Amino acid sequence: QVQLVESGGGLVQPGGSLRLSCAASGFTSNYHAIGWFRQAPGKEREGVSCIESGDGSTYYYADAMKGRFTISRDNAKNTVFLQMNSLKPEDTAVYYCAAPNSWRCSEVVSEYHYWGQGTQVTVSS
């Protein structure tokens, strides 16, 4: 049974940092891309970042996140991380990790077949 479990969310002040983790089980994440998405109240789910298997190519899907967020993976632990720095109130959302049936990344939500339960990130003073 494929399972993705996120952790690391919480409440942080503006300018602070959080590191999200996505632990994969039931399949080898080494052979799947892993993406991070987020969904704020009243908004559609949007792509945040993705890391491909193989050469580990990374993608960041919005200019607002580039330079502040970093995605990485630990293949030995079947875990993908999202380091988020200089957090802003507009980063507040539920963050999900997801995997397509492919080694390639995509920004398209419907191309992802496996989803975690999400972890809440709240940026507020």
Question: Which pLDDT tens digit goes with each residue over 48-72?
Answer: 999 998 888 999 998 888 899 999 9
Output the pLDDT for position 29.
58
Output the pLDDT for position 28.
67
Instruction: Name the percent of the chain lying above pLDDT 90.
Output: 81
Give the three-state DSSP class for 62. Answer: coil
d(CA 95, CA 49): 11
Taking residues 98-124, report their average pLDDT.
Answer: 95
Is the Cβ–Cβ distance between 39 and 97 less than 8 Å?
A: no
| Band of pLDDT at residue 124, cut at 50, 70 and 90 | very high
Output the pLDDT for position 69.
97
* Mean pLDDT computed over every residue of the chain: 93
| Band of pLDDT at residue 31, cut at 50, 70 and 90 | confident
Indicate whether 20 pLDDT > 70. Answer: yes
Instruction: Name the percent of the chain lying above pLDDT 70.
Output: 98
